[in-house]
Amino acid sequence: MTLYDLANPTRFLKLVKVVLPWLIVATVAALAVGLYFAFFVAPEDYQQGQTVRIMFVHVPSAQLALMCYAMMALSSVGSLVWKHPLADVSAKAAAPLGAAFTFLALFSGAVWGKPMWGTFWVWDARLTSFLVLLIMYLGIIALWKAIEDPIKAAKVNAIITLVGVINVVIIKFSVEWWNTLHQPPSIIRSGGPAIHSSILIPLGLMALAFVLLFVTLHLMSMRNEIMRRRIRAMRMRAASAAPAASSSTITKAAPAGAR
Amino acid sequence: MSWMKSLFVREYQLANRVGGGALIGVLFFLAVVTIFPFGVGPDMILLSRIGAAILWIGALLATLLGLDRLFQADREDGSLELLVMSGRSLELVVLIKCAAHWAATGLPLVLATPVLSLFVGLDFQSIVLVTLTLLVGAPALTLVGAVGAGVTVSMRRGGVLLSILVIPLAVPILIFGVSAATAGAIDSNNFLVPFLFLCALTLFGLVVGPLAAAAALRVSGE
């Protein structure tokens, strides 16, 4: 079975039906283990105390916020180059998830920032880029809702998503140039991680759990979108197949309205 | 070549004559700059500190205001379809339309900037720098705006959504434009780096704007 076979919506739905229960089990298990490690095994920070545990939600959310955008961008390439409806569905399903994870990253950051930095919000480079990212996600969701024809909506969204990809990079760079307060990257950097393994292991577990969560939600959301499109197509077929019936209901309804 | 010139002239004349013309954008710019002191207080020292930012945000809003009609009017009367089917490069058509739109609405904003700078208490050097950065940066605003205009062309009342989509794209332009204008006023050595970035963004917009907007227009024409 090639990737192209998978792209058939009916085969995709069949596969989702098989894979989804296992994914849900894996997600719940990974989240349970990850949260257990995050809350009970990981030590308190000598400076930050218990608030360090917020990081176990914050970092994976932030990572997924970017991953969702990458997913959307890849799907957009799929819908522009191969014009495949499943890529459209994938891009559409990723947008609200990305917005939710971006919001979660901003929210958990604000909750952590209040006791640590003394303020919910600062106009620091990474916070600002994430706020702009959130606006981009919400704009893309609004654009999906604004155009009725799903194929047209997909192409238009793909264009704005791909322009956005270039823009995310420029925004990140320019905002960093503009102002920086956030901690520099401390996990993936030259010279190995700067975090002790007692915190890095729970963090890795949570990151894995969040990725599983994203895959599960994305597949579920894609399945729902395919169903929604089928219902739409059925409705349109039903409407066009019964012009006589609809006109008779209008004539029947007219005296009732006149009364 | 002659079709490009006549398209430019047509677009320029339409932009000048429809809906109050070029002056309406300048008037809006004046209104935005006027409303700022009512919000932050009539403190001339504070105003001169944030003056460049006020002018840039005013110019951004005035540019956004006119963008929703960039392609929509042509779509409504059918001339957009003629342009798409004309066999000319649609990217080039978009670029010419952007150039005409900028000449009709962006350039008057730049010309009005030195006068409006006086209201926010900028000194001579700052006035020159703000005007220069707007001259270089405002085309970038029009070009990224064209992407939003192309994407929302088929929408009735797409103006608000257009602004939401374009404002994130305008963030880097605003950052480098304002920092070139304000840093340059303090120390002229700090001017060149952000100014060159601003030039780069405009050149970048010259490529990405027409490409993406033309792609979006083709989709809406299908």
- Give the domain ranges of chain A: 19-187+195-253
Any B CB within 8 A of A171 CB: yes
Distance, C-alpha A203 to centroid of its chain = 20
Distance CA A57, CA A100 (A): 13
Residues with Cβ within 8 Å of residue B93, at least 6 apart in sequence: B7, B83, B86, B214
Lowest mean pLDDT among A34-48, A82-96, A130-144: A34-48
**What residues of chain B, 155 to 184, have a C-beta less than 8 Å from chain A?**
155, 158, 161, 164-165, 167-169, 171-172, 175-176, 179
Closest partner residue to A163 (CB to CB) among B147, B152, B220 is B147
* pLDDT, mean over chain A: 81
Half-sphere exposure of A249 (CA within 13 A, CB side): 5
Q: With contacts defined as CB-CB under 8 Å, which chain A residues touch B179?
A: 178
Per-residue confidence at A254, pLDDT binned at 50, 70, 90?
very low
**Residue (of B117, B147, B137) closest to B201 by Cα position:** B137
What is the least distance, in Å, from the CA of A111 to any CA of chain B? 25
Whether pLDDT at A4 is above 90 = no
Residue B87 Ramachandran class (φ > 0 left, ψ -120 to 50 alpha, else beta):
left
Q: Is A108:A54 a contact under the CB 8 Å cutoff? A: yes
Phi and psi (nearest 5°) for B21? 75, -160
Residue A45 three-state SS: strand
Closest partner residue to A163 (CB to CB) among B158, B171, B212 is B212
ipTM of the complex: 0.85
Distance CA B118, CA B48 (A): 9
B29-54 residue pLDDT tens:
999 999 988 888 888 888 888 888 89
Per-residue confidence at A256, pLDDT binned at 50, 70, 90?
very low
Q: How many A×B Cβ pairs under 8 Å?
A: 78
What is the least distance, in Å, from the CA of B209 to any CA of chain A? 9
Mean pLDDT, rounded, for A52-65: 86
A39-49 residue pLDDT tens:
887 776 666 66
How much is the pLDDT for A258?
41
Q: Is B147:B212 a contact under the CB 8 Å cutoff? A: yes
What is the least distance, in Å, from the CA of A122 to any CA of chain B? 17
Cα radius of gyration (chain B): 18
Q: pTM of the prediction?
A: 0.85
User: Please, where are the H alpha helices in chain A?
Assistant: 3-6, 9-36, 55-77, 85-117, 125-146, 150-178, 197-241, 243-258
- Of residues B195 and A187, the one with the higher pLDDT is B195
Closest partner residue to A170 (CB to CB) among B165, B172, B216 is B172
Phi and psi (nearest 5°) for A224? -60, -40
Other C-beta atoms lying within 10 Å of the C-beta of residue A59: 18
Q: Is B6:B98 a contact under the CB 8 Å cutoff? A: no
Contact between A152 and B222 using a beta-carbon 8 Å cutoff: yes
Any A CB within 8 A of B212 CB: yes
A93-119 residue pLDDT tens:
999 999 999 999 999 888 888 877 777
Any A CB within 8 A of B195 CB: no
Closest partner residue to A163 (CB to CB) among B154, B176, B208 is B208
How much is the pLDDT for A24?
92
Chain A interface, best mutation among B169, B182, B196, B203, by max A CB count within 10 A: B169
**Residue (of A174, A187, A181, A92) closest to A132 by Cα position:** A174
* pLDDT, mean over chain B: 87
A142 DSSP 8-state letter = H
DSSP B140-171: HHHHHHHHHHHHTTT-TT-HHHHHHHHHHHHH
Distance CA A48, CA A51 (A): 6
